[in-house]
Amino acid sequence: MNGGSHVSVQQLSAAKLDSEELRTRLLKPDVISGSEILLRSLLLEGVECVFGYPGGAVLYIYDAMHGNPDFKHLLTRHEQGAIHAADGYARSTGKVGVCIATSGPGATNLVTGIATAYMDSVPLVVITGNVATTFIGTDAFQEADITGITMPITKHSYLVRDVKDLSKTIREAFHIANTGRKGPVLIDIPKDVSSHLTEFQYPEEVNIRGYNPTVMPNKGQVNKLLQAIEEAERPVILAGGGVVYAGAHEELLEFAQKTRIPVTTTLLGLGGFPSGNELWMGMPGMHGTWTANTALQNCDLLIGIGARFDDRVTMKVSAFAPKAKIAHIDVDPAEIGKTVPTAIPCVGDVKMVLELANQKAKPAKSEAWIQQVNEWKAEHPLSYKDSEEELKPQWVVEMIHRQTNGDAFVTTDVGQHQMWAAQYYRFNHPRRWISSGGLGTMGFGFPSAIGVQVANPDATVVSINGDGGMQMCSQELAICAIHNIPVKIAVLNNQVLGMVRQWQEIIHGQRFSHIDLAGSPDFVKLAEAYGVKGLRASNKEEADAAWQEAMNTPGPVLVEFVVRRDENVYPMVQAGTSISEMIMGDAE
């Protein structure tokens, strides 16, 4: 494969460090190059597949890959495709995703993906090449200060100037990426460092001065929270992506059931609490459910768990949860009190905090509140005006949910289709929902699905995209065809930048400016040009049949759904207004 041969998705994810003989061989103190140290170190960290794109500054590293049967690498068609694939791999597994690119433009092409992972607390180790140490700072060919460029969007970054420091650096990078509040770490390796020789020694332990994340909660603060719960009559849990990343979904379910508190899950928290549970109210915020937003505005105790109270949830902060005492559980102390005033801070790993709380948790005085919430759910469900003449995007998402039994890994791009997928595909398991939340990165959806499929070769992986975002990384169709990566790609084609059009319609007086995507390619022909089966549907009967054919096809398939151009996402809360001020659309 490293020499260019085509392999299956099962082979891509086959690098498992389950052999003691292999581990012994990797740890052998041979005198080897920096490039070989890198590959050995990645294997010792349990890395199954690296996503990357070669270039001059990483040629020694790619030469070390040649003929190495233990090391798996997937050649993407763009560096941004590589880092989004590594991101999808990490989100769907909880493991550290790894990507590699060359210096200069190769490294800078990773910046959007690094920022995407940083905003959403995704553990990545990003490896870049650089010019030789003797040329650093001279404006050499393809030189860029990538550590300086990415300083605000990484947990930490390293410029390795001595090959003797390389193995220690890699060990530290994985530790930092995957502990505390997780995130991307960058390792910049000059070309001469990758070629120099030294004796390989891999550190058994990591001890980083000044880096000691607080994971054990303060028992006194947890007791204060439990006391507040017992006194509360209208409590709400706001669960975020931190619940998913901490593997705390079972503890959250137990906590909610013991305390009898309704739960709303943020965009990145979807799947952290089962959507089929009676206590679930849906997603809050700008495009949240009427029930979730109304409950937030009327609760007397709000418990944020692994959620950062971002602006798309709170909207007008001064009007957010005005009747509530706020408690906040988070591993990152910097998030507590950053946006909303917090009465009960609980710093620590979400799983550990909930485990401790569950030992003594008692019910709130919430039965009348739960009845009220259930009445709201019955009176104000998510709804849309269906059509037998036009294909509605909400119906398409519901159909995909039905045909996949709600059990697929779903990745999305960013825009209207993302919100419809969040609203109408119901998740009962964590790590099945993969979407760019904080940065809102167009082009993320499809390549992230490739990483998810590599990590989960036997699972159903669905990538839901708009016609705008699909064109930003469509070149990665090539690797789906080459390696038979069986991602099922849905393109909701409304021939417009839909979310921008919706804002221009509602907020900017229908002054539609530069949103027309009618000149987009024929997506069926585009897929076929790369060797991927392409299908198209314009009505419900065609859509059902096309998706069934896609599901029954053993390889990758792209289905273009021609949907209504002027459909809007509702509910909607305009920027600068309270989440009480919901525009309900057809439901009004």
Residue 369 pLDDT greater than 70, yes or no: yes
117-152 per-position pLDDT tens digit = 999 999 999 999 999 999 999 999 999 999 999 999
Q: What is the CA radius of gyration of the chain?
A: 24
95, 135, 142, 258: the catalytic one is: 142
189-215 per-position pLDDT tens digit = 999 999 999 999 999 899 999 999 999
Task: For residues 109 and 126, give the distance between their C-alpha atoms in angstroms, rounded to a whole number.
Answer: 12
Catalytic (active site) residue 499: yes
The percent of residues in the chain predicted with pLDDT above 90, rounded, is 95
Which pLDDT score, from 0 to 100, does residue 432 have?
98
DSSP 496: B
79, 143, 476, 560: the catalytic one is: 79
Which pLDDT score, from 0 to 100, does residue 6 have?
67
Residue 269 pLDDT greater than 60, yes or no: yes
Tokens of 79: 């560096």
Which pLDDT score, from 0 to 100, does residue 5 have?
55
Q: Which residue has the higher pLDDT, 10 or 465?
A: 465
Contact present, 48 and 13 (Cβ < 8 Å): yes
Which pLDDT score, from 0 to 100, does residue 1 have?
45
* Confidence tier at 550 by pLDDT (50, 70, 90): very high
Contact present, 174 and 145 (Cβ < 8 Å): no
Q: What's the CA dihedral at 496, 500, 504, 510 to 10 degrees? A: 10
For 249, phi and psi rounded to 5 degrees? -65, -40
Catalytic (active site) residue 446: no
CATH 3.40.50.1220 positions along the chain are 219-379
* Confidence tier at 378 by pLDDT (50, 70, 90): very high
Catalytic (active site) residue 504: no
The percent of residues in the chain predicted with pLDDT above 70, rounded, is 97
- Whole-angstrom CA distances from 126 to 75, 84, 183, 200 are 15, 11, 11, 21
* Confidence tier at 62 by pLDDT (50, 70, 90): very high
182, 191, 351, 377: the catalytic one is: 191
Mean pLDDT, the chain, integer? 96
Pick the CATH number of 393-569 from 3.40.50.2000, 3.40.50.720, 3.40.50.970, 3.40.50.10300: 3.40.50.970
Give me the DSSP letters along 397-429: HHHHHHHTTT-SEEEE-SSHHHHHHHHHS---S
9-200 is a CATH 3.40.50.880 domain: no
Residue 170 one-letter amino acid: I
DSSP 552: H
* Confidence tier at 587 by pLDDT (50, 70, 90): low
Residue 304 pLDDT greater than 90, yes or no: yes
Residue 3 pLDDT greater than 70, yes or no: no
CATH 3.40.50.970 positions along the chain are 9-200, 393-569
Q: Which residue has the higher pLDDT, 16 or 334?
A: 334
Contact present, 341 and 360 (Cβ < 8 Å): no
Residue 2 pLDDT greater than 70, yes or no: no
Residue 247 pLDDT greater than 70, yes or no: yes
Task: For residues 497 and 75, give the distance between their C-alpha atoms in angstroms, rounded to a whole number.
Answer: 30
Which pLDDT score, from 0 to 100, does residue 13 have?
60
As a whole number, mean pLDDT of residues 269-289 equals 98
* Confidence tier at 588 by pLDDT (50, 70, 90): low
10, 141, 362, 584: the catalytic one is: 141
Catalytic (active site) residue 191: yes
For 3, phi and psi rounded to 5 degrees? -90, 5
Q: Which residue has the higher pLDDT, 370 or 519?
A: 370
313-343 per-position pLDDT tens digit = 999 999 999 999 999 999 999 999 999 999 9
283, 315, 419, 499: the catalytic one is: 499
159-191 per-position pLDDT tens digit = 999 999 999 999 999 999 999 999 999 999 999
As a whole number, mean pLDDT of residues 496-524 equals 95
Residue 249 pLDDT greater than 90, yes or no: yes
Task: For residues 480 and 250, give the distance between their C-alpha atoms in angstroms, rounded to a whole number.
Answer: 34
Catalytic (active site) residue 10: no
Please give the CATH number for the structural domain made up of 219-379.
3.40.50.1220
Which pLDDT score, from 0 to 100, does residue 71 have?
94
Residue 225 pLDDT greater than 90, yes or no: yes
* Confidence tier at 8 by pLDDT (50, 70, 90): confident
Which pLDDT score, from 0 to 100, does residue 20 have?
81
Residue 312 pLDDT greater than 50, yes or no: yes
